[in-house]
Amino acid sequence: MIKYIIFDLDGTLVNSIYDLADSVNYVLRQNGYAEHPIDSYYYFVGNGTLKLIERALPENKRTANEIERVHSQFAERYSQNYLNKTVPYNGIKELLAELDRRKIKYAVASNKTDVFTQEIINDLFKNYQFDVIMGKREENPTKPDPKIIYDILEGKNLTINEILVVGDSSVDIETGHNAKLRAVGCLWGFRDKKELIESGADFIISHPIELIEIIDNIK
């Protein structure tokens, strides 16, 4: 029986691509660099915001110092604009309400900076009972390293067969598998079905409420 769900944030619970792209393009423009179309950002995101900035910069500008400098500008801009266009995906609130009704606990494990992860969840999901909300913390590695999963599950009396990891990219599937957990790929996010299949997703769903069917079928 499934007792605990660990969700990714960006591309899984919320569509944040427009605010991310707007903030990155703003700082690129301010520094005289070429901007990118929205479609490019679906593949720039997923490994944390430092990697996002690295991928967005021209190849000959991807030095550690320049990545850090532009990232600092991005963080300042994004902190003022992270909820301009970011919204929950259709069906997510209904899914969370059903999990609450069933008393199935759920958490967030994101490569987004922890402060933004906390604020987005607290702003957009005030009426839902997240057990743990955890984003990227300075001292921790990014997913697919499973440490964030271990931190979330620390002290909880759960077996690996009682937990599912849910995300939209190979990073999320690999994170789940690195923690020896089953992973569900969602098709409404930033990546496509081919990536989820190739990364070995145990299940693939096209609408949030389909997660309930998986839970019901796992005994």
The parent domain of residue 194 ranges over 4-15+86-217
What local confidence, expressed as pLDDT, does residue 139 receive? 87
Q: How far apart are CA 152 and CA 150, in angstroms?
A: 5
Share of the chain above pLDDT 90, in %: 99
Residues 23 and 125 in one domain: no
Residues 62 and 90 in one domain: no
Q: What is the mean pLDDT of residues 72-94?
A: 97
pLDDT of 146 strictly over 80: yes
pLDDT tier, 203 (very low <50, low <70, confident <90, very high otherwise) = very high
DSSP-assigned letters across all residues of 179-213: TT-EEEEETTSSS-HHHHHHTT-SEEESSTTHHHH
Residues 152 and 56 in one domain: no
Residues 188 and 203 in one domain: yes
pTM for this predicted structure: 0.95
What local confidence, expressed as pLDDT, does residue 132 receive? 98
CB 167 within 8 A of CB 186: yes
pLDDT of 31 strictly over 90: yes
Mean model confidence pLDDT for the chain: 97
**CATH number for 168:** 3.40.50.1000
**CATH number for 61:** 1.10.150
Residues 131 and 195 in one domain: yes
